[in-house]
Every structure is written in structure tokens, then in C-alpha cells.
């Protein structure tokens, strides 16, 4: 199994807490995200073939590897267009029946928490193929619940990204709200969060991850989102973007604070009649696309944070994938447009916010409080957070992350 | 000569006013814009060949055709990549020497007002080829001066665009400021204007006209910006954009105010592995691109207008070209994001703002006041504005527009 394909968070002993639900699912426009629970040793992978087919879609949500003995939250994803692979994966692991390899009596409906637009679109398919009922949870509710859960319960979840380095911050529960959540999926939602379950979707943009991969597919021969993303590492956007210096003959436009290397027009050099699509390198196209989209999201996010007086902006969603250049561009955009007054923050489990929120909704009105509070009481003396601590009330390291085999 | 290639504003008799300068030039990243003055009968076109080579780049800045007898301001444009055509045009019409077909003694330097980044980049070229010195005027200064001039001196200059109709508005000079000017060239500048010469570039985006044409060239076989723009008329962006309904199985996401037809992800359907670039129609690609870019500009403009408490937003720049779908998308975007509280306004001479400002700078600190005031006094009883008048102090119709042969 490709290490990148699955990640997990080890949980404290199941006996010490409320019974765990087993599976929640977030079906977006491009990707399906699963969160499921297992005790250690349960459900070893049975279907490498399915995993292998997904290996191009990497999950890179942190480097931690701290196994605890009793159970884990696992994370997995599939392309929405290959939903049948996802259904086969669920069936092969019997996730929909709690990992028990026996049939559930037909009179007992199996109900699985699901969110994202696909929870509506694919209701019939899940019923038909797996005999399960998708219990639909609102997408924004789940996103917010997922982020609040992570920020409260997971140490080293949030970080700044600067000069190629992550700087983790621990956020005081009492000083968490309000914040702006920018979830970059196929499209982008911007949500002002004022508390648990208290939020408003204040803005968004259609220029998101689907735009990067959609335009990228049309412009390059890349076969996967991750291939396109990787290419951007070695690309040079200046080949395609029109810089201020290109217009000004190499000089700055200093009077209004534009340096010669600022991008004046994304893809503006491609207006040249001397070059056709095949004359451009895919890595340069990828880098230009990534920079255009990340910068645009950072700019709109900052303007909305400013509008509502929000000092923290968290960026999440599967578009980011822990990708250095993406985070760097977003960070620079927020810094640039705010003239250094705001900073972008990122989340290690960025891609599974909605799925985690759906998982949490099994015990809505109690799950995340339960988790954070119960576990905080169980391990009050664990080491406190020392890296990049912003506030003076670190809580214990209740949940650790581990990549599974 | 293609009617679309040149436009003019007829001027009152030159004898009644200060001596007119003859040529000003705005050299942007993609286009060069010329504004020049002639008395009627001067400088009939001598070089149709050059004009013909430009016929694909249309100027559509109004339908008026009100010739006056004494003189005209002419407007022309060239692609920056074909700057030698522009230089040949200037030479053939002797614009740089005031239309006089004789050589200027070499000791007398000919100075031409120029703005845009190319005024810096091509200084040596103009000196070498035409023996003229480009007197550089700041780009933002010129944009603002051009808009202020037009709004003060030209009747039926500003309009709303709604339901396929232009609704002209006449703006009281005393109630003109502040406003947000959004100039969409290769890139986009957003300028808060507080008075004559009082302004600040507060924002911008690199996703502008150069992005539309650059990406459009790479994605289609279109040979010109205007061909690409025309195609968008008959395109269907739903083939390529991922709509809310595509994610939600045809239903709205009503809870947060998203209808099934809202675009969730621009180009989001192009992630499908079933289709390659050649399987998409260029008209659909054009429409999706145009909508993505126009909507994005409208959104960022509105957020900036809100930030600075500006009730008026004027959109100009050569990207718009009086194109119905572009104006419609920008208008809808501003309406949507402002929840109906703001409205986009457009300018008939949108493409020549900087060039007009450079022209006006020959008599900076007096030109536009001179023009407006002198001419207002000359024709105090001309019919006042009746269509869409917002304020009660219409001024006379001092300058009329006419397309030249």
C-alpha cells in the first residue's frame, strides 16, 4: 500500500470513551473523503489493487507517527468520478457494518453519516450497492465542526508556513473565535466561524482546486492532480506570466509599489503569436496556474477577513495537500495584500475537514467536547506544546497521527 | 478602412480654444492606444494596409455619430507585439509632427506624451525610428485624468448595463468623488479616486485581459482576442464549469443561498478523464474563461469598494470592449456579491482612458477644466440629458462621438 494514500490518527482506548461510530463520508465535486475508525489490527488492507489505483492522489497531512495501542481514525480518499472504487473499498473492508464480516439483518437499516453535495447526488447508488442509507449532514456544518474538533483536540494541528518551514501554533480554546475558514475544494468556500455551530458562509470563489486540475488537464498531458502539482516545483511561471518588468522594460513601477517581478497578468505572455500550447513546458504552465489560483484565493480571503475584522485565517481543503509552493503562495498573498498585518494558517488534516465533521456528527452536541474534555482529563501531565505556542494554555496531546502501511 | 478600427470625438472649433496637441500614446502590455487630433479633412488614411492588419481588434465605444465641422479626437490601437506597425502608422500620418508633411529641424526635439509601461520600454525605439522623445506620464495619473475628463466633459459617457440594455447616467461634477476605477487591461488596477489628481491604487489582480487572451489562445485555435470574445456569445459554459447542481445531483444548496446553476468550480468539469482538450468546443471554453475572469474582477472590485466605502465602481480598460456578456457578467457579479447594494458602471471610451489622460497632460493643471468650462460656456443651451439622469445638474453636450471612415 502506498504510504501516501492513507493516514490515521491514533485514538485513546475505546473503552474509556463513548462508543465510536465507524465510518463517515464526504462526497465533493472532485474527491470522496472517508474517515473511519478501527481498533488496531482490525481490517488490514485486503484490496491493494484499489489502493494502488489511488496512489497518485497523495495525502500528506503531517509527519507524526505516534501509534497508540487501541484504535485509530483512518483517512482515505477517492476521485468522485470513480465512486464505484470507493464503494468497493467500503464493501471489502465492511466499513458500513462496523468491520463485522457478517450480513446485517435486512430490517435493520444501516445509516452512515455523509456530507458534501454527493451525499445528495449518490443517495440511490449507496442504497443500491451497499444497502445503506446516507444520513445527510450539512456541508458547512461539517466543515466547521471538523476544524473546531481538530483545533481543540489535536496538538500541532495549525501552523504558519514561512520560508519553507512550518511553524506550529497551539491555539487557546478560549481564544479560538472568531476566525475565517477558507476551504479550497473544487470551488472555495469562505466561512466566518463564531463558535461551535455558529458560522456564516460569507464568500467564496469558483476559482479553486477544480480550476487548477481542470485547466491543468486541458493544458498539459498530466494524468493526475498530484503529477500536475509536483511539476510546479520545477516550473518557471515567468515564461508564461507577464511581469511588471515585461511591460516596463525591466524596471519596477515603484511609485505604486509594484516591483519588476510582480505578476502583472497571469498567462499574459501566452498572447504571443510566436508560441503555441505545445511550445510551453507543462511544469511552467502548472506553476503559473498554481500561482494564479493560490494568489487569488489568498487575496479574496484577506479582503473578507478584513471586512469582518477576523484576525485568523485558516486555509484547508484538499487543494493544498501540504504542498510547499501552494502554501507559500497563499502565505505571500495574504502578507502582500494585508501589508504584513495578516498571516495565513494551515491545518495538517486539511483535506478531511468535512469528513471529520460528519464523523463527529454521530454524536453531535457532544462529540468534540467529549473528546477534548475526556481526554484532557485522562492525560493532564503530557508534555505541553513548545513550538510556536501563541497562547499560554496548551492542552495535552490527545490524538497523535500515524501513517499506516 | 474598417469602421471598427478607429473612432473619433468631434471637437469644437480649434480656433476657440487653446492650441491642441496632436498625439498621445499609451503603451500597455498587450495593446498600444493612440489618441490624436485632426482638423476635418486632415490626414485622410493613406495606409489601409496597416489598418487592415488591425481590423480584428475592434473599438466599439458607442453608437453616436455627430460630426462637427472643425476637428476631431481620433482613437486607434495596435497590438504591442506589432509596435512597428504603430510606428509606421504614426509616420505615414505624420502624427508626430502635427500632421505637417515636412521635416522638423533636427535641433528641435519632438516630444510626445506617452504613458503605460511601454513608454519606458520602447523609449529608444521611438527615438530611433521616429526621432521623437517620449515624455513619460505616470500610468495611474493618466487613467484617472482620462476618466475624470470623460465623466466631466462627455455626455452619455457612463452607463449601467442591465438586461442587455445600456442605461446612461449623467453624473453631477460636484458629486463625482469618491469612486473606484477598475481598469482591466492585461492585468487589473483598482484605484480609489478622490478628486482631480487625488487617488490611490488600492488593489488589483493579475487575472485580467491578458489572462483571457493568453489562456484562450492556448486552449482554442482563435487567432485574435476579438474572435475569442465573439465566440463566447454562442458558448455554453455549463459544459466545462462544475455547477452546484452537478455536485448536488441537480438540486440547489439553498441553505447558503447557492442555486443549482451557480458555478461551483470554473473549469471543474474538465477534470473528467473522458474528455481531452479537442473534445471541448472553443466557444464553450471562451464563455467559461470570460465568465471566470469577469466574475472574479467584479467580486474583488466590490470587496474593495466596500472596504473604502465607495458607492460607485467604474469599469474600464480594453478588456471590456463594449462586449455584452462581459458587462453582464461583471454587473451580475457586483450585484450578487453586494446583495444588490452596488452596481457596476461602464464607460463608452473605456479602452482609451490612459491615452486620453496622456493627451490631457499636455496641459496638465488646466486641460480638462479648460475643455469642460470653455465649452460649457460656448453651448449653454444645448439639450440636457434626459436618459438615466441621476443628478439634477446636467451639463451641455460638449463633445460628440463619431466613427470615422
Q: Which tens digits make up the pLDDT trace of A271-295?
A: 988 899 999 999 999 999 999 999 9
A10/chain B closest Cα distance in angstroms = 32
Q: Which residue of B has its CA nearest to A249?
A: B121
Give the model's confidence band at B51: pLDDT under 50 very low, under 70 low, under 90 confident, else very high. very low
Measure Cα distances from A385 to A154, A170, A390, A398 in Å: 11, 7, 10, 12
Q: Is the pLDDT of residue B78 over 50?
A: yes
- How many residues are recorded in chain A? 405
Q: How far apart are CA B210 and CA B225, in angstroms?
A: 10
Comparing A202-211, B281-290, B363-372, the range with the smallest average pLDDT is: B363-372
Which of B184, B252, B267 has the highest number of chain A CBs within 10 A, making it the mutation to test binding with A? B267
* Cβ count within 10 A of residue A26: 33
Q: Is the pLDDT of residue B156 over 80?
A: yes
Which of B85, B117, B227, B252 has the highest number of chain A CBs within 10 A, making it the mutation to test binding with A? B117
* Nearest CB to A218; choose among B29, B123, B270: B270
pLDDT higher at B87 or A58:
B87
- Going A47 to A50 to A53 to A57, the CA torsion angle's sign is negative
pLDDT of residue B241: 97
Nearest C-alpha neighbor of A193 from the set A148, A136, A244:
A148
* Nearest CB to B267; choose among A81, A215, A251: A215
Those residues with Cβ within 8 angstroms of residue A118's Cβ, 6 or more apart along the chain or in another chain:
A27, A28, A29, A32, A80, A83, B247, B249
Q: Which residue of B has its CA nearest to A296?
A: B205
* Nearest CB to B296; choose among A81, A269, A296: A296
Q: Which three cell numbers stand for residue B273?
A: 478523464
Q: Is the pLDDT of residue B136 over 90?
A: yes
pLDDT of residue A100: 61
Which of A271, A306, A307, A339 has the highest number of chain B CBs within 10 A, making it the mutation to test binding with B? A271
Q: Which three cell numbers stand for residue A147?
A: 476544524
To the nearest 10°, report the CA torsion of B294, B299, B301, B304: -170
Q: How far apart are CA A125 and CA B404, in angstroms?
A: 64
Segment A190-196 shows an average pLDDT of 96
Q: Is the pLDDT of residue A122 over 50?
A: yes
* Nearest CB to A206; choose among B256, B271, B292: B292
pLDDT tens for B274-303 read 899 999 999 999 999 999 999 999 999 999
Q: Do domains A3-143+351-384 and A158-207+292-347 have the same CATH topology?
A: yes
**Domain spans of chain A, in order of start:** 3-143+351-384, 158-207+292-347, 241-276
Residue where the block lists cell 506544546: A385
CB distance B264–A307 less than 8 Å? no
CATH superfamily of A3-143+351-384: ATPase, nucleotide binding domain (3.30.420.40)
Q: How far apart are the first and last CA of chain A?
A: 6
CB distance B271–A213 less than 8 Å? yes
Q: How far apart are CA B219 and CA A46, in angstroms?
A: 43
Alpha helix segments (H runs only) across A183-256 = 209-219, 225-232, 244-247
Segment B181-198 shows an average pLDDT of 96
Angle, in degrees to the nearest 10, between helices A353-360 and A139-153: 90
Q: How far apart are CA B67 and CA B74, in angstroms?
A: 12
CA A83, chain centre distance (Å) = 19
Tell which B residues from 376 to 405 touch A, by Cβ distance under 8 Å.
none
Classify A115 as helix, strand or coil: strand
Q: How far apart are CA B355 and CA B360, in angstroms?
A: 9
Residue where the block lists cell 448536488: B248
* Cβ count within 10 A of residue B248: 22
Residue A370, phi then psi, degrees to nearest 5: -55, -50
Q: How far apart are CA B326 and CA B333, in angstroms?
A: 11
Residue where the block lists cell 485513546: A12
- Please give the CATH topology (third level) of the domain spanning A158-207+292-347: Nucleotidyltransferase; domain 5 (3.30.420)
Segment A378-394 shows an average pLDDT of 24
Q: Are A345 and A301 in contact (CB under 8 A)?
A: no
Comparing B53-62, B91-100, B288-297, the range with the smallest average pLDDT is: B53-62
Amino acid at each position: 500500500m502506498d504510504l501516501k494514500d492513507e493516514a490515521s490518527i491514533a485514538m485513546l482506548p475505546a473503552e474509556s470513551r463513548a462508543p465510536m461510530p465507524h465510518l463517515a463520508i464526504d462526497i465533493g465535486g472532485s474527491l470522496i473523503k472517508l474517515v473511519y475508525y478501527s481498533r488496531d489490527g482490525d481490517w488490514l488492507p485486503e484490496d491493494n489493487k484499489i489502493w494502488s489505483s489511488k496512489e497518485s492522489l497523495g495525502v500528506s497531512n503531517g509527519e507524526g507517527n505516534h501509534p497508540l495501542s487501541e484504535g485509530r481514525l483512518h483517512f482515505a480518499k477517492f476521485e468522485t468520478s470513480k465512486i464505484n472504487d470507493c464503494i468497493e473499498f467500503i464493501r471489502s473492508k465492511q466499513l458500513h457494518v462496523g468491520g463485522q464480516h457478517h450480513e446485517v439483518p435486512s430490517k435493520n437499516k444501516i445509516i452512515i453519516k455523509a456530507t458534501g453535495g454527493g451525499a445528495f447526488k449518490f443517495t440511490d447508488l449507496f442504497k443500491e450497492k451497499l444497502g445503506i442509507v446516507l444520513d445527510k449532514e450539512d456541508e458547512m456544518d461539517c466543515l466547521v465542526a471538523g476544524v473546531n474538533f481538530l483545533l481543540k483536540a489535536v496538538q500541532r494541528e495549525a501552523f504558519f508556513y514561512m520560508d519553507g518551514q512550518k511553524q506550529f501554533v497551539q491555539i487557546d480554546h478560549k481564544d479560538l473565535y472568531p476566525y475565517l475558514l477558507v476551504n479550497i475544494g473544487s470551488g472555495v468556500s469562505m466561512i466566518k466561524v463564531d463558535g461551535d455551530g455558529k458560522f456564516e458562509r460569507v464568500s467564496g470563489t469558483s476559482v479553486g482546486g477544480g480550476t487548477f486540475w481542470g485547466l491543468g488537464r486541458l493544458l498539459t498531458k498530466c494524468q493526475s492532480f498530484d503529477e500536475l502539482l509536483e511539476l510546479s516545483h520545477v516550473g518557471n511561471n515567468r515564461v508564461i506570466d507577464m511581469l511588471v518588468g515585461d511591460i516596463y522594460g525591466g524596471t519596477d513601477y515603484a511609485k505604486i509599489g509594484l516591483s519588476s517581478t510582480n505578476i502583472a497578468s497571469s498567462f499574459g505572455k501566452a498572447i504571443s503569436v510566436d508560441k503555441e500550447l505545445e511550445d510551453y513546458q507543462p511544469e511552467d504552465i502548472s506553476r503559473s496556474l498554481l500561482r494564479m489560483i493560490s494568489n487569488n484565493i489568498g487575496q479574496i480571503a484577506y479582503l473578507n477577513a478584513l471586512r469582518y475584522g477576523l484576525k485568523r485565517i485558516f486555509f484547508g481543503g484538499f487543494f493544498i495537500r501540504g504542498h510547499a509552493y501552494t502554501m507559500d503562495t497563499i502565505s505571500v498573498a495574504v502578507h502582500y495584500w494585508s501589508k504584513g498585518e495578516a498571516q495565513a494558517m494551515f491545518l495538517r488534516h486539511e483535506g478531511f475537514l468535512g469528513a471529520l465533521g460528519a464523523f463527529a456528527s454521530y454524536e453531535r452536541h457532544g462529540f468534540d467536547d467529549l473528546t477534548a474534555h475526556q481526554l484532557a482529563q485522562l492525560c493532564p501531565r503530557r508534555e505541553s506544546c513548545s513550538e510556536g505556542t501563541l497562547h499560554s494554555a496548551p492542552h495535552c496531546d490527545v490524538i497523535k497521527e500515524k501513517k499506516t502501511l
